[in-house]
Amino acid sequence: TAERQRSAQELIRPQLPSELTKRDGCPFDPASGLTELSGQGRIHRIEHNGETVWLVTGHEEARAVLAEPRMSSDRINSPRARKLISPELHAELFPPQRRAGSFIFMDAPEHTRFRRLLTGQFTVRRMRDLTPRVHEIVTAQLDAMIEKGPPADLVHDFALPVPSLVICELLGVDYGDRDEFQRRTAKLLSLTTTIEEQIKVNTDLGLFMRSLVRDKQKKPGDDLLSGLVRDTDLNTDELTGIANLLLIAGHETTANMLALGTFALLEHPDEFAKLREHPELAENAVEELLRYLSIISMGVSRHAKEDVTIGGATIRAGETVVVSVPAVNRDESQYDNPHELHVDRPRGHHVAFGHGIHQCLGQQLARVEMTVAFTELLRRLPTLKLAVPADEVPLRTDMSIYGVHELPVTW
C-alpha cells in the first residue's frame, strides 16, 4: 500500500522545504535559504506539507531546547509519527524488540538507566587502550593505500574503513562481517529507503546483532558488548538494540567527517598547509571542522510534551522542533566570520555532537579517530590533492548524514 512506500526517514525526521535543507552553493555551506532565514531570527515557525515545524537557528535557543526535559526524543512515538501511518504499520515497523535498548529515542528516566550503564563501559581505560589501536588501524590503511598507489577513493580506502574497524574492535564484531552491516546501515540512513524496505533491513540487522550478542553471552571477551553482558542485567533485546545503535551511530558519522573534512581542507589550501606544518593544531582543527561542516545536516529533532516557551516562541504540546545544526554552528552572534574555515580558530561551543542528556556518547572516541586520521593523512601524503574537479565530487544530499559518496584523490 501507499503508506508502506513512504520514506522511513520522513517518519522520524520532520519535513522541511528543500530550500532550507539542500546544500545548493559551496558544498560545505548550509542551504542558502537557511542562511537567509538565520539572518531573520533565531527560532522560526514553518508550515510545510500540512505540518508545523519550529526551526531553531540560534545557538542559545538550540541549547535551551536540547537541555529542556519537556522536549521529548521519542521520535518513534511522536504525535506526527503516529499520525503519518496506521497503528498496524507502526507496530510492524517498531516492534518492542526493536525499541528495546534504542536509548537515543528515550526520555529520562528510562534514558538515564541506559546512559549510565553505557558510560560505565566507555571508560577512560577502554578509550586509552583503543588509542594505540586507532593509530595502528590508521597506519595500516594508509600503508595499503600508498602501496596501491594513486589515484584512490579516499572514502573507500580510508574514511570508511578506519571508523568501521574501530567500532568492530570496540564491539567485538568480526571485521569480515563489515560489508553486511555497512550495506544495511547505509540503507537505513538513506532518505529514499521506504518503510517496506526498512522493515526488511531491521529484521536482517536484528538477526545479525542478536547472534553477535548470543556469542558474547556464551563467550565474553574484552570488548564493550562483553562488558555489558558481564557487568549488567540487560536482556538480549536490550543488548541487541544497544549494539545496533552503536554500530549505526559510530561509523557513518566519523567516516563522513573524515572524507568531507579532507575535501574541505583540500579546497582551503592555506588551512591544509597550516595544519600540515603545525600538527599540534589537529585537535583544534577537528573541532573547527565539526562546526564548519555540521554533517548532521537535517538537524536534531524533538517534540514538546507540554507547552514550552523558548526564545520568545511558545511551542505547543505535540509540536515538533528541529535544531538546525548547520545554522546553529554558524550563528553570527557566537562566532566571528562563521562562514570561514580556520583550523586555528579559538575553540568555542558547537552543537555538532548535540547538547544535553543525549549529547553524543561516542564523542571522545570520534575525536581520537579524527585527530589521528587527519594528522597521519597530512603527514604521510603532504601533496594530497583532488583527482577530479571539485564540482564532480558526488555529495551525499540523498542521505541523512551529509558528506561525500566518493573522494577521488591523488598525490
Q: Residue numbers of the site for ligand HEM (CB under 6 A)?
A: 73, 103-104, 115, 245-246, 249-250, 253-254, 257, 295-296, 300, 352-354, 358, 360-362, 365-366
CB of 296 vs ligand HEM, minimal distance in Å: 5
Q: Which is nearer to ligand HEM, 110 or 277 (CB)?
A: 110
Asked if 208 contacts 180 with a C-beta cutoff of 8 angstroms, the reply is yes
Q: Which is nearer to ligand HEM, 89 or 291 (CB)?
A: 291
Q: Which is nearer to ligand HEM, 187 or 358 (CB)?
A: 358
CB of 119 vs ligand HEM, minimal distance in Å: 9
Total residues found in the chain within this entry: 411
Q: Which is nearer to ligand HEM, 89 or 292 (CB)?
A: 292
CB of 86 vs ligand HEM, minimal distance in Å: 26
* One-letter-per-residue 3-state SS of the chain: CHHHHCEHHHHHCCCCCHHHHCCCCCCCCCCHHHHHHHCCCCEEEEEECCEEEEEECCHHHHHHHHCCCCEECCHHHCHHHHHHCCHHHHHHHCCHHHHCCCHHHCCCCHHHHHHHHHHCCCCHHHHHHHHHHHHHHHHHHHHHHHHHCCCEEHHHHHHCHHHHHHHHHHHCCCHHHHHHHHHHHHHHHECCCEHHHHHHHHHHHHHHHHHHHHHHHHCCCCCHHHHHHHHCCCCHHHHHHHHHHHHHHHHHHHHHHHHHHHHHHHCCHHHHHHHHHCHHHHHHHHHHHHHHHCCCCCCEEEEECCCEEECCEEECCCCEEEECHHHHCCCCCCCCCCCCCCCCCCCCCCCCCCCHHHCCCCHHHHHHHHHHHHHHHHHHCCCCEECCCHHHCCECCCECCCCECCCEEEC
CB of 120 vs ligand HEM, minimal distance in Å: 13
Q: Which is nearer to ligand HEM, 252 or 271 (CB)?
A: 252
Q: Which is nearer to ligand HEM, 253 or 400 (CB)?
A: 253
CB of 266 vs ligand HEM, minimal distance in Å: 19
Q: Which is nearer to ligand HEM, 89 or 375 (CB)?
A: 375
**Cell 516492534 identifies what position?**
95
Q: Which is nearer to ligand HEM, 4 or 99 (CB)?
A: 99
Residue nearest to ligand HEM as judged by C-beta position: 362
60: buried, middle or exposed (CB in 10 Å: 19+, 13-18, 0-12)? middle
CB of 220 vs ligand HEM, minimal distance in Å: 19
CB of 233 vs ligand HEM, minimal distance in Å: 20
Q: Which is nearer to ligand HEM, 202 or 301 (CB)?
A: 301
CB of 79 vs ligand HEM, minimal distance in Å: 18
CB of 60 vs ligand HEM, minimal distance in Å: 17
